[in-house]
Structure 1
Amino acid sequence: MAEFDIAIIGAGIAGASLAAECGGHARVLLLEAEDIPGYHTTGRSAAFWEECYGGPEIVPLTLASGPYLRDHGFLSPRGALYIAREDGIAALDTFMEKFGDTGATIHRIGRAAMLEKVPGLRESWIDAVWEPLCSDIDVAGLHQHYLTLAKRLGVDLHCRARISRAERRDGAWQIASEDGRGWTATTLVNAAGAWADELAQLAGARPLGIQPLRRTICQLETDPQPLADQPLVLDIAGQFYFKPEAGRVWLSPHDEELSPPCDAAPEELAVAEAIDRFEHVVDWQVRRVERKWAGLRSFAPDRLPVYGADPHCEGLFWFAGQGGYGIQTAPAAAKLAAQLLLGLDRDDFTSGLDASLYSPARFG
C-alpha cells in the first residue's frame, strides 16, 4: 500500500486547490470517485466572483482571492445589479448596511441607471445596488490550473476511486476503494462536497450536518439577445438571477431544494418557475430553453464553510461546506487550509482571515 502524508478525498475545486497548496510540502494523495475530477458541482457552476455573495463572513475570503484570480486571468469584468421593486427597498437598505463596512465596492443607483445597464427592464423594478467589480470566473480554467499545479508538485491523483473503507490504525489511515486499491496516509482530508458527512461517518467521525441543496440553471434563447456587457442581475429577495453567456441567458430561480448526495438533475417545475420570474423582470421574449442542468451546493448548518482539524477524530481534517462560493474563494480558502493543515505561518494572503469562523470546533 502506497504511503502518504495527506490523502484528500474529492478532486473538485476544493480538493484540487488544497492539493496544489500542499503538494510542495508533503506527499499528497488526491482521490476522486468519478471518472474525471469536477464532475459534480465544480463542473456545473455558473460561477461569478461577487463580493457580497455568501454574507459578510465570506467577504474576506472573496476579497483575498480576487488578486490571485485576476492576476492569473481567470476573471472577466461583468458587474452585478441587485434589483428591487417598491416592496424591496427596505431590503436594499439592509443590504447596504450589512455590507457597507466589509470592503466590498457597492453603491445605490436608481431607475434611469438601471435601464442603461438592463434595457427592457419592467417598470416595477425601481431601485438597485450596483456592484461594479463583479466578474465571471473561468471555472474550468481555474480547476485545471490547480490540477496541473498539483501534478507538477508531485500530487498523486487517482480517479474512479470511490472510498469503501477509511480506518485509523496505529496513527495512520488505512484507505480502500471499491475496486480493491489501498493507500495509507497520516491525515485524511474531507473535501467530498455533497458526500462530506457520508465520508465522515465512514471514517468514524461525527457528521456536522452538511446538507446538499439543489440549484437549477437553464440556458435561454431570447429576443432580443442580451448584450455581452450586460451585468449579472439578482433579485434582492433571492428569487432569481441571470446573466448573458455567449448571446444566451443563463437563468436560475435561485432554488435551494434539499437533496441526497447524487448526480443532480434539473426539475421541470424549477425551470418553469425561473422563466416565469424572468418574464416579470424584462420584456424579452423567451424563444426556447436550449439546455438545463442542476448542481448540489453543500452548506453547514450556519452556512459557513468548514476548514480545520476535527476536534474529536484524530487525523481528520475538514475542507467542506463551501456552498455556492467555493470557486470564488478557492485561492484564499486553499491557502488558509494548507497553512492550518501543515502548521505553516500565516502570510499576507491570509493575514486578514479569521480561521476560527470556519473551524469545525464551532459545532461543539
Structure 2
Amino acid sequence: MRSNSPGKIIVIGGGIAGLSLAAEIADWAEVTVIEREPHLGYHASGRSAALFSETYGNRLVRALTLASRQAIADGGFAAHRRGALHVGWTGDDAAVDRLAGELQALVPSVRRLSAAELHALVPVIAREATCGGVYEPDAVDVDTGKMLAASASALKAGGGIIRTGEEVRAISPDGRGLRVETSAGVYSADIVVNAAGAWVDVVAGLAGLSGLGFQPKRRTAFLFDAPAGADISNWPLVVDLHEQFYFKPDAGRLIGSLADETDSEPCDAWPEDIDVAIAVDRIEQATSMRIGRPSTPWAGLRTFAPDRTPVAGFDPRLPGFFWLGGQGGYGFQVSLTLARMSAALIRGEPLPADVTALGVAAAALAPDRFLTPAATP
C-alpha cells in the first residue's frame, strides 16, 4: 500500500473514463480495473468517431475540454488537425450568424464562412445550396486506440491490475470498506469507482443504490467511399446546422452518421437499417455524393446524465462509492481532465487550479445534485 493512500481501489469499467482515472491514481493506491467484456474499450470507447472540439457541449463540458487540450497534445493523441464545420442551408443565414457569434465568444479562432468559402473547403456541397457555415479550424481527430492503450500501460506501470471478462454481481459494505463480488471471486476495497458507462445506474443498483437518471442514447454510423478522384484528407468534420447528419474523413474513407440520439437500455448496441438508410439519404440530398450501399455500419451508446454534464464524486449514501459517468459524446476530449479532478476528490485534495480557473467546481459535477434531501443520510 502506498503512503497516505486509502489502500485498495476497484474501478468498474474498462472504457476511457475508468482507465484514465485508474492510470492517474495507480502510483498512489492499489488499483484493479474490472471489465465485464473480453477486452478494454468494448462499448462506447471502442466505437467513437472521436473529435476534440472546444465548441462541443454545454459550458461545463467546454471548460473540461479546454483543460484537456494540453494533455491530449502532450500525450501525442491528436492525430490530425481536422477542423469542424457547421453547415447552414438556404434561409439559415440568421441562425448561422447567431451560432458564429456564440462560438467565437468561446473560441476566437472560429470563423463565419461564406457560401463560396464553404464550397472551396468541401466541394461536394454546392454554393447555391448553402448560406455558408461556422468553421472551427483547430478541432482535431483523437487517436482513441492510442489513448486507451496509453492509459492501460500507465496503469500497469504503476502496479495496477486489469481484469477483463469478469462481471460485477454485488457490492456491499464490509467493515470500513466495500465488498465486491464478481463472476470470478470476491474483492475487498476501500473505494469503488463506478465508471461503467451505460451501466452506471445498473452498477449502483448492485450496491443497493437508486440510479441518478443516466440515459444511454444510441448513435449509428457507417463507412462509405469518397467520391472518385476527390482528395478528402483535409476535409473537416461536416455537421448539418440542424444536427440531422454528419460526415468526416477516416483512413481514406468517410464516416457518415444520422447524428441520432435514440433512448436505449444498456446493451451491446446494434445499428438499425432504417437509421443508416435515413442518414445516407440526408447526406446524398445535401451533397453531390452518391453513397449507394455503405459498409461496416455500427452503433454505440453515448450515456448522459439528466443535465448532460458528467458526474464525478462520492455518493453520500454509501461511503467509498464514487461515481464517474455521463461523459456522453465527449469522453475522449474530457476524460483526462475528469481523471485529474476525480483523483483529487478521491485524495481529499482541492481540484486542479487550471480547472477551477475555468469556472469548474466540484459541486457542479457531484452526484448530490440528482439526489433529493430525503435520499441522503
Query: TM-score normalised to the size of structure 1?
Result: 0.95
Contact 2:116-2:132 within 8 A present in 1 as well: no
Q: Distance in 2 between matches of 1:214 and 1:15?
A: 21
Alignment correspondent of 2:48: 45
Q: Which residues in structure 2 correspond to 1:71-220 (within 5 Å)?
A: 71-75=74-78, 76-103=80-107, 105-122=109-126, 123-179=128-184, 181-220=185-224
Contact 1:120-1:284 within 8 A present in 2 as well: yes
Task: Give, in angstroms, the shift of residue 102 of structure 1.
Answer: 2.9
**DSSP-derived class of the 2:10 partner:** strand
Deviations 1:295-350 (A, max 9, x none): 00000111111011112222111100110001111111111111111123433443
Q: Distance in 2 between matches of 1:274 and 1:354?
A: 39
For 2:210, give the aligned amino acid: R
More helix by share: 2
Q: Which residues in structure 2 correspond to 1:221-240 (within 5 Å)?
A: 221-224=225-228, 225-240=230-245
Task: Give, in angstroms, the shift of residue 101 of structure 1.
Answer: 3.3
For 1:199, give the aligned amino acid: V
Aligned length, in residue pairs: 361
Alignment correspondent of 1:354: 361
Task: Give, in angstroms, the shift of residue 254 of structure 1.
Answer: 0.3
Alignment correspondent of 1:316: 321
Q: Distance in 2 between matches of 1:104 and 1:59?
A: 14
Alignment correspondent of 1:273: 278
Contact 2:13-2:35 within 8 A present in 1 as well: yes
Task: Give, in angstroms, the shift of residue 85 of structure 1.
Answer: 1.2
Q: Distance in 2 between matches of 1:94 and 1:148?
A: 44
Alignment correspondent of 2:345: 340
1:26 aligns with 2:29: yes
Q: Distance in 1 between matches of 2:231 and 2:189?
A: 51
**DSSP-derived class of the 1:175 partner:** strand
2:261 to 251, 256, 259: 256
Q: Distance in 2 between matches of 1:141 and 1:200?
A: 30
Q: Distance in 1 between matches of 2:355 and 2:28?
A: 18
Contact 1:190-1:196 within 8 A present in 2 as well: yes
Alignment correspondent of 1:61: 64
Contact 2:25-2:31 within 8 A present in 1 as well: yes
Alignment correspondent of 2:10: 7
Contact 1:191-1:318 within 8 A present in 2 as well: yes
Alignment correspondent of 1:307: 312
Q: Distance in 1 between matches of 2:240 and 2:92?
A: 9
For 2:105, give the aligned amino acid: D
Task: Give, in angstroms, the shift of residue 60 of structure 1.
Answer: 0.9
Distance change (3 Å), C-alpha of 1:88 and 1:337: farther
**DSSP-derived class of the 2:307 partner:** coil
Q: Distance in 2 between matches of 1:73 and 1:308?
A: 29
Q: Distance in 2 between matches of 1:36 and 1:4?
A: 26
Task: Give, in angstroms, the shift of residue 104 of structure 1.
Answer: 5.8
1:363 aligns with 2:367: no
Contact 1:222-1:249 within 8 A present in 2 as well: yes
Q: Distance in 1 between matches of 2:366 and 2:117?
A: 42
- Aligned CA RMSD, in angstroms, stands at 1.6
Task: Give, in angstroms, the shift of residue 169 of structure 1.
Answer: 2.3
Q: Distance in 1 between matches of 2:93 and 2:311?
A: 33
**DSSP-derived class of the 2:130 partner:** coil
Task: Give, in angstroms, the shift of residue 176 of structure 1.
Answer: 1.0
Comparing 283-292 with 95-104, greater Cα deviation is found at: 95-104
For 1:6, give the aligned amino acid: I
Query: TM-score normalised to the size of structure 2?
Result: 0.92
Distance change (3 Å), C-alpha of 1:211 and 1:342: same
Task: Give, in angstroms, the shift of residue 144 of structure 1.
Answer: 0.5
Task: Give, in angstroms, the shift of residue 351 of structure 1.
Answer: 3.4
For 1:295, give the aligned amino acid: G
Deviations 1:221-253 (A, max 9, x none): 242345111111011111111111122110110
Contact 1:79-1:231 within 8 A present in 2 as well: yes
Task: Give, in angstroms, the shift of residue 26 of structure 1.
Answer: 1.2
Contact 1:222-1:287 within 8 A present in 2 as well: no
Contact 1:222-1:285 within 8 A present in 2 as well: no
Distance change (3 Å), C-alpha of 1:308 and 1:90: farther
Deviations 1:231-279 (A, max 9, x none): 1101111111111112211011001111111111100001001101101
Task: Give, in angstroms, the shift of residue 358 of structure 1.
Answer: 1.4
**DSSP-derived class of the 1:307 partner:** strand
